[in-house]
Amino acid sequence: MSAVVHQQRDVRRARYAVAAVFAVHGAVTGSFATRVPWIQDHAGVSAGQLGLALAFPALGASLAMPLAGSVSHRFGARTALRGLIALWTLALTLPSIAPNLLTLCLALFVYGATAGMSDVAMNALGVEVENRLDKSIMSGLHGMWSAGALIGSAAGTLAAHLGADARLHHALAAAVLTVVGVTACTWVLDLQPAEDEEPPPRFALPPRSALLIGAIGFCAVFAEGASLDWSAVYLRDQLETSAGLAAACTTGFTLTMAVARIAGDHVVDRYGAVRTVRASGVVALLGGLLIVFAEHPAVAMGGFALMGLGIAVVVPLCFAAAGRSGSNPSLAIAGVATITYTSGLIAPSAIGLLAQATSLMVSFVLVTVLSCGIAGFAGVLRAGDRTKVTRPEAAVPEPRP
């Protein structure tokens, strides 16, 4: 009995440790995003060249993500995550020291590669902890990522306001986040491969199940990227609002997503992944319709808030379903992560190109249509419902009185 209680305590501690790693991962992203203008000036690149450079994180992540499974198999999950999160936090220092376009592209490639590999490793451990606790935690973990990103953004905004050199800012942030991330990894689950378990291939196509799950993630991340980058522009250009009100719309969307993710686990536990995502798709669809047909800024802001509420839990549940969809969770998670990273890369530019050819309202018609895909294909996330999981050994039994 004492062994069971000890095991439960270790799993609960692992949950908080993984949550801290998610927050650290998000804080790196927030720290970088706020200093992009400084990095552009330091590297001496034009807006077009910066756009080219900013494609390299997604390229690096897409190529490196499939390697995460091999790293975890070779070193064990805890050691692999400790090393990968340290590489990711330290990679924050690279873009700000790049003196030209070529070095900036190389720095951002490494930045993206380490981001993607650590992303896969921490999501795989999050799914395993969720299995052992037998309750949903993935939405909350991604909520912690959003909270970390907000903290990193706030610190970066303060540094930019004070006129701090981004090289110094990122060096200090990297040092602090490395210590926090590596320390948190001390308490994550130390999963080791079985002696007769063959290592996963270094590069392999994601399984078919991951492609179907990734398609839903694609729709959600496309809507997220479009809303984050274009909501303020939409209110300013389509509804002729002030710059302050337009910016408040983007902030409201971000906060809605963060709060919904943190609270989403309770909804998932009660209604299951499929029904939750189906309802989320309907909410996102209603938000999209309000955005498209809005004639007043308040209506559009309400639409973006509903959009954030609707898509908030979709990606976490995609990762949870991928982690239970086959015999190689890391490969499936890497496949879903690659698809969602790609969606986040192309969404802002696709919205802009379509808006240039037609109008920004038509662009958000596309976002609204993709929200229908979230609701319509939610059934492929059935693997994310723990009641469907056929791995009872993953759960930790409750102690008997």
Instruction: Give 31-60 pLDDT, tens digit per residue.
Output: 988 888 899 999 999 877 887 888 888 889
DSSP state of 333: H
What is the CB-side half-sphere exposure of residue 189 using CA atoms within 13 A? 25
Low-confidence ranges of the chain (pLDDT < 70): 1-2, 6, 194-206, 326-327, 383-401
Q: What is the model's pLDDT at position 202?
A: 58
What is the CB-side half-sphere exposure of residue 201 using CA atoms within 13 A? 6
Instruction: Give 333-383 pLDDT, tens digit per residue.
Output: 888 988 888 888 788 778 888 888 899 899 999 999 999 999 998 998 886
Q: What is the model's pLDDT at position 329?
A: 76
pTM of the model: 0.83
Nearest to 251, CA basis, from 153, 156, 343, 158:
153
Q: What is the model's pLDDT at position 14?
A: 95
Residue 367 exposed, middle or buried by CB count within 10 Å (0-12, 13-18, 19+): buried
Q: What is the model's pLDDT at position 197?
A: 66
Residue type at position 184? A
Tell me the chain's radius of gyration from C-alpha atoms: 21
Nearest to 96, CA basis, from 159, 181, 3, 190:
159
DSSP state of 163: T
Q: What is the model's pLDDT at position 164?
A: 92
Q: What is the 3-state secondary structure (H, E, C) of 97-135?
A: HCCCHHHHHHHHHHHHHHHHHHHHHHHHHHHHHHHHHCC
